[in-house]
Structure 1
Amino acid sequence: MRQHHVRPAALRGVSPKSLALAGASLMVLAHAATAQEATAPRRGLRNPPAEASVQLETLTVEGRGGPEAASRAIESPTGPVAGYVATRSATATKTNTPLIETPQSITVVGREQIDAQKAQTLTQATQYAAGVYSGLYGADSRVDYFIIRGFRASDYGIYRDGLQLLNYGFGTFKAETFGMERIEILRGPAAVLFGAGSPGGIINQITKRPTLDPFGYVEVGGGSFDQKYAAFDFGGPADGSGQWFYRLTGFGRTGGTQVEGAPEDRAYIAPSFTYKPDGATRLTVLTSYQHDNTAVTSNFLPYLGTVRPNISGLRIPRSLNLGDAGFNTFRRDQVMAGYEFEHAFNETWTFRQNLRYSFSDSFQNSDIGQLGYSDAAQTRLARYQFLTSSKIGLFQVDNQAEARFFDGLFRHDLLLGLDYKNFQLHDNQGTNFSKFYAVPDISILNPVYGPATGRPSPYLVNAISFEQVGLYFQDQIKLTDRLTLVVGGRQDFADNRVVDKLFAGAGSTSRTDSAFTYRTALIYNYDFGLAPYVSYSTSFQPLIGTSRTGQTFTPETGDQIEGGIKFEPPGAGYFLTLAGFDIHRSNVLTADPVNVQFQTPIGQVRSTGFEAQLTANLAEGLNAVAAYTVYGLTTEKGSAAEIGKVPVNVPENFASLFLDYTIPVGEWRGFGFGGGVRYVGRSFADVDNTLRVPDYVLFDAQVHYNWENWRLAVNATNIADKRFVSSCQSAFSCFYGDARRVVASLSYKW
């Protein structure tokens, strides 16, 4: 059942101690370089001065387009977005760069948009972004699944505060959206800076941070499936000297899901603080704890009975629990603790170090479908029992030295970096097949539940160790006041070791890989807000784990050429991005047809397409988000049955539009309403592309009322309660999408 089984490989013999020394050497290098700092004038630097870059979530002022241009507020790349239209990000370049000067397609979903849509998961928060298909495996309460530009990104492509959250096998992380300030979808390869990720793109979640000004926020709500929740968010100065700041964010939920008897309970707490002794130094400590108690809700169901009626003319109810409320169980505890340190030596050199340790402990015991029907009338489903226990320890540190200077001809924003990643996974998986007992089938008409038939025996007990070290550079060069050249390169060393602890004497399997990736791009900025760009980049993804036969995987590689246009007219209040792309991805993994709990490489897949994304503050109180994506996905190398065909699971065409309006004046001031429409095109359920999963259209709506510091809102997604299948992995593994969900909420802020 490893539908999200994906693997890398890494570097051996590099200890955290040596990395700490390397990080220190970068800091010394930056400090020493100040002695040779160029004395040429630094005219019109793209970024705010170093002093502004280390402020908390405050806005500074910078002119745009010369001294005659109107001044405007400059947002922090980790801070709030004013309305829906973000202007800056650090995800694509790891530097504080305006989006209009970033030669890559990126969408920023800010806190205001998340709240307006009442997005309770990362899947829901990204449903109106171009290039992204969220909810790949349907209504899954355990993990958020994504496809970006046709390639799955939920394994190696999810990041938090610029550091990766690896989801391998059944060892997973899942972030609480109430703890996020913004969510950024970077489309296209990002390996040149991050050393990992799908060539389709990554999703970077930015955590809420302490603020200069004191504030408070509380919210309660509830709705469908008897869900109830409460949340709070407090922060501000912690002392009278203005050096210490804090933030405490919490969220709690209890209730059910669209699957009968399956809970969706969560507790989340995130303390953080910032120490800012002066205008050049900042240390922010970010911590969180999260407990999830849920079940398997993305039932693995047959094509006949979900997408199409079965032989008896029946469809399987969305509410059917294939397990039992007593042991259809999934629990996870995760802890994250780390810091972000930044020190500006002067106007030229700044050093940053981002560090985090993440831990996840998960357990699952449930009956699973995936075997099809057990009777000729197709009224009973065969099942097997699956049990897994996974523990993850993930340590990461990213050291960066940034220099902004003028060399006499060109202005530079030079970034030098060294990062290290250490991933440890203890993976234990078992089924009833290993114990030689059968699990009773279940009726889709009158299900009868009972206790678990037995306890599965393990078929896999692995200790997986993955290390990776990367050295990278990037230079954003202003060739003229309007033309920017971005060049970057990265050398990675990766080591993957798997120790088989189930069979005595089986030993271990390991491999070491290295690769150089690079990116080059050009963007031209007109004064009236038009910015055409072109880029070429390569990617490298070492793959964790082994195949069914115990063999490690050759790393995945890819390359992309992208061209596009960005349009942000000064003062117009909207941002439009149009992008075309052509991606080749090699050594792609897919489910092993002999045993889908493992994976096997299928060769090379190509994705060629076009995207459009619009975010707009159209008028006072009126916000809009629109997106369109179309691409062609083809297997170019693989088995004879796969070549020339579209991989399963993947829709190639989708579009969305979301509007929200709050009346700004008059007797109805504070009353608002809005809604959205989402279209998803067809996909396929088999390699031969003979089983088609049809397209679907969903509608969302909301009404809300703001009165002084209070806000009352009612949100509904899939308001028509349309039954749809989000995708099929095979003829025996199809996944129902989200049923109608209505949430009422009441909040107060001060």
Structure 2
Amino acid sequence: ANNYMKRKVWDMSVSYVYQITDWMKLKERFSYFHSDLDYHCIEGLSYRTSKDPIYKWYYKKSETEKIYVDLDTVQRGNAARQNPLNFNPDHKNVNNTIELTGKFETGSVLHNYTLGWTYNCFDFAQYNGYGDDDLWGPGLDALLPVRDPHIVQGWWDTKVSAVSLRTERTHGIYLHDVIEFNDKWKMMASGRVDLYSRKTSSATIDDGKQKYETKNRKEWKEVETSAFTYRVGVVYFPMPELSFYGSISSYFNPVTTTYSPTVMYLDRKGNEFNPDEDGGEVFKPEKGYSTEVGVRYTLNEMVDINASVFYIRKYNIVKSLGDTTVLVDGVATEKSIRGQVGRADSRGFDIEVVVRPLPTLQVTGGLGWSDYRLREIAESGRFSKYKEQNKNVRATGVPRTTFYAYADYTIPRGVLKNLSFHLSGNFKDKVFRNIDNRLYDPALWLMDAGIFYTIKNHVTLALNINNLFDKEYFERTTIMAKPRNYQASVSYTF
């Protein structure tokens, strides 16, 4: 009865634009977000088990070991005391962006530039009540009969005794320019420098409240890194109806690993190195680049065709490469091996076709295909025996092929004028969970439909039917998706 989840959110944003001249202006955007969540809940029920034959039923854990189960009774929580759950995440996010935008000409070339600085701070504290003394009350570990249970059986309460802390800050300075050479050639070039820092720590709490004393906090572990990224794109218009484009861009993703004495570290060439034991950057940022070329064609404003192909390359990927035994002060010590040795790529294409046979009818279809694989593992010297099991194997958890189609039609005149119909379908290829065992979620085709009616351009009545054919499928591994469902709405436009 005393399970609860409470959440408070504060969300604020401010923007300001100052027109310096008719060809230059300054933009300021500031936002603040604060979320405070209190979660206090017994999530699970479990059967009582024993290795001794004290219950009637059992299952085999192995060929020689039986686990006996009481199927008549369930227990609130479990023996490992992972329930009830009591955690209170509190996080704040501050973002500020200043941009100077304008235009100027160099000869016959027009430049549209943006010079900007952005700052983002994410401050996170999660208060936890997982200690042995954090839970009390007669309702803990209550037993309930499976048949005709009394759901509410005694109260329980809890307090917090520890807090996990994390703060991330990013400063970004960027400049990009859209360059118009003439009616046929346009170009965009941009560069950005990011300065990133991340601090983590933890603390104990004496009084059970969501506040900690500085003296109870451990030393901060900090990771600092920086990177330069770029983007360049070109568009060519041989005629107004046809355009070709190409682009290349880079990216970086900080690796926030902190030092552990139980880990052996390998650099991107597979060589062992000793990171900063007092905190600081262990691995270099994950980096990569992507390239894309595409085409767009419009035929008499009735048909639009967009198509593109892409290639993405990633390197500095951190992988777990097994375990090894090393001598530490003359003592044999087991260590796990983590190396920044992975390189991967993704390639694919997509195409979209939009057809407008009537002014009030539009039909759209799109097809996408992509393939992501880990391609290489750097090897050197005595570490050459450590292999990545998934090398050159397609990625799990994502479909290879996707397809969508939808149509919209609005009655243009008569008594039913402005009555609109919508029909859409989405196809997702099978999603592998385990390649070796051929375990996958089957391919899926879902359809939705909708009816919309607008009254005097202000009031819109809508009815949507989701999962039109009532398909049964899993939204996530153990969670069934919604069956056919309906959503009605009324909106007013001023």
TM-score (norm 2): 0.70
Aligned to 2:426: 678
- Report how far residue 487 of structure 1 moved: 1.3
SS at match of 2:399: coil
Q: Please identify the structure whose Cα radius of gyration is greater.
A: 2
Q: Distance in 2 between matches of 1:451 and 1:604?
A: 55
Alpha carbons 1:674, 1:703 under 8 Å: kept: yes
Alpha carbons 1:326, 1:451 under 8 Å: kept: no
Amino acid of the structure 1 residue aligned with 2:184: R
| Counterpart check, 1:641 vs 2:371 | no
1:663 to 411, 421, 425: 411
SS at match of 1:501: strand
| Counterpart check, 1:472 vs 2:174 | yes
Amino acid of the structure 1 residue aligned with 2:195: F
Aligned to 1:725: 474
Provide structure 1 residue ranges, at least 5 long, that are not aligned to the other structure: 1-324, 594-598, 729-733
| Counterpart check, 1:694 vs 2:442 | yes
* Per-residue deviation, residues 727-749 of structure 1 (Å, max 9, x unmatched): 44xxxxx4433332201223444
Q: Distance in 1 between matches of 2:293 and 2:455?
A: 46
- Report how far residue 614 of structure 1 moved: 4.5
Aligned to 1:744: 488
What is the aligned residue count?
414
Q: Distance in 2 between matches of 1:623 and 1:547?
A: 57
Taking a change above 3 Å as real, the CA distance of residues 415 and 745 of structure 1, as seen in their structure-2 partners, is: closer
Aligned to 1:542: 254
Q: Distance in 1 between matches of 2:430 and 2:45?
A: 22
- Report how far residue 557 of structure 1 moved: 2.4
Taking a change above 3 Å as real, the CA distance of residues 453 and 659 of structure 1, as seen in their structure-2 partners, is: farther
Aligned to 2:347: 608
* Per-residue deviation, residues 49-71 of structure 1 (Å, max 9, x unmatched): xxxxxxxxxxxxxxxxxxxxxxx
Identify the range of structure 1 (540-549 vs 507-516) with the bigger mean alpha-carbon deviation: 540-549
SS at match of 1:423: strand
Aligned to 2:28: 353
Taking a change above 3 Å as real, the CA distance of residues 505 and 363 of structure 1, as seen in their structure-2 partners, is: closer
Q: Distance in 2 between matches of 1:433 and 1:618?
A: 69
Aligned to 2:233: 521
- Report how far residue 717 of structure 1 moved: 0.6
Aligned to 2:400: 652
Alpha carbons 1:685, 1:727 under 8 Å: kept: no
Amino acid of the structure 2 residue aligned with 1:388: F
* Per-residue deviation, residues 569-615 of structure 1 (Å, max 9, x unmatched): 5x716654322111123456899x9xxxxx99994442211122345
| Counterpart check, 1:424 vs 2:110 | no
SS at match of 1:515: strand
Map of 1:706-717 to 2, 5 A cutoff?
706-708=454-456, 709-717=458-466
Aligned to 1:398: 97
Q: Distance in 2 between matches of 1:720 and 1:373?
A: 41
* Per-residue deviation, residues 74-109 of structure 1 (Å, max 9, x unmatched): xxxxxxxxxxxxxxxxxxxxxxxxxxxxxxxxxxxx
Alpha carbons 1:661, 1:672 under 8 Å: kept: yes
| Counterpart check, 1:335 vs 2:47 | no
- Report how far residue 632 of structure 1 moved: 0.6
Alpha carbons 1:547, 1:600 under 8 Å: kept: no
1:388 to 87, 91, 115: 87
Q: Distance in 2 between matches of 1:359 and 1:556?
A: 30
SS at match of 1:640: coil
1:408 to 81, 93, 107: 107
- Report how far residue 376 of structure 1 moved: 4.1
Amino acid of the structure 2 residue aligned with 1:532: F
Alpha carbons 2:345, 2:375 under 8 Å: kept: yes
Q: Distance in 2 between matches of 1:464 and 1:336?
A: 20
Identify the range of structure 1 (661-670 vs 445-454) with the bigger mean alpha-carbon deviation: 445-454
| Counterpart check, 1:563 vs 2:262 | no
Taking a change above 3 Å as real, the CA distance of residues 432 and 474 of structure 1, as seen in their structure-2 partners, is: same
Taking a change above 3 Å as real, the CA distance of residues 725 and 551 of structure 1, as seen in their structure-2 partners, is: farther
Q: Distance in 2 between matches of 1:681 and 1:372?
A: 38
Amino acid of the structure 2 residue aligned with 1:491: V
Q: Distance in 2 between matches of 1:425 and 1:714?
A: 41
* Per-residue deviation, residues 110-166 of structure 1 (Å, max 9, x unmatched): xxxxxxxxxxxxxxxxxxxxxxxxxxxxxxxxxxxxxxxxxxxxxxxxxxxxxxxxx
- Report how far residue 521 of structure 1 moved: 1.4
Taking a change above 3 Å as real, the CA distance of residues 419 and 745 of structure 1, as seen in their structure-2 partners, is: closer
Taking a change above 3 Å as real, the CA distance of residues 370 and 651 of structure 1, as seen in their structure-2 partners, is: farther
Alpha carbons 2:463, 2:487 under 8 Å: kept: yes
- Report how far residue 724 of structure 1 moved: 0.9
Q: Distance in 1 between matches of 2:420 and 2:398?
A: 36
Alpha carbons 1:670, 1:705 under 8 Å: kept: yes
- Report how far residue 440 of structure 1 moved: 8.1
Alpha carbons 2:204, 2:217 under 8 Å: kept: no
Amino acid of the structure 1 residue aligned with 2:252: F
Aligned to 2:313: 584
1:489 to 156, 177, 191: 191
SS at match of 1:643: coil
Map of 1:292-331 to 2, 5 A cutoff?
327=3, 330-331=5-6
SS at match of 2:465: strand
Alpha carbons 1:464, 1:498 under 8 Å: kept: yes
Alpha carbons 1:641, 1:687 under 8 Å: kept: no
Alpha carbons 1:523, 1:533 under 8 Å: kept: yes
Alpha carbons 2:224, 2:280 under 8 Å: kept: no
SS at match of 1:525: strand
Amino acid of the structure 2 residue aligned with 1:559: Y
Amino acid of the structure 2 residue aligned with 1:341: Y
- Report how far residue 352 of structure 1 moved: 1.6
Q: Distance in 1 between matches of 2:259 and 2:43?
A: 22
Identify the range of structure 1 (652-661 vs 433-442) with the bigger mean alpha-carbon deviation: 433-442
Taking a change above 3 Å as real, the CA distance of residues 368 and 713 of structure 1, as seen in their structure-2 partners, is: same
2:223 to 497, 511, 514: 511
Taking a change above 3 Å as real, the CA distance of residues 333 and 436 of structure 1, as seen in their structure-2 partners, is: closer
Amino acid of the structure 2 residue aligned with 1:664: P
- Report how far residue 389 of structure 1 moved: 1.6
Identify the range of structure 1 (610-619 vs 599-608) with the bigger mean alpha-carbon deviation: 599-608
Q: Percent identity?
A: 20
Q: Distance in 2 between matches of 1:372 and 1:394?
A: 42
TM-score (norm 1): 0.48
- Report how far residue 451 of structure 1 moved: 6.2
Q: Distance in 1 between matches of 2:371 and 2:46?
A: 31
* Per-residue deviation, residues 479-500 of structure 1 (Å, max 9, x unmatched): 3321112111111111111121
Q: Distance in 2 between matches of 1:333 and 1:519?
A: 39
* Structure in which a larger fraction of residues adopt strand: 2
SS at match of 2:21: coil
SS at match of 2:32: strand
SS at match of 2:28: strand
Q: Distance in 2 between matches of 1:625 and 1:462?
A: 48
Alpha carbons 1:332, 1:361 under 8 Å: kept: yes
Aligned to 1:531: 243
Q: Distance in 1 between matches of 2:348 and 2:188?
A: 23
SS at match of 2:239: coil
Q: Distance in 2 between matches of 1:587 and 1:442?
A: 52
* Per-residue deviation, residues 313-347 of structure 1 (Å, max 9, x unmatched): xxxxxxxxxxxx863x5543322222222233334
Alpha carbons 1:683, 1:727 under 8 Å: kept: no
Alpha carbons 2:2, 2:155 under 8 Å: kept: no
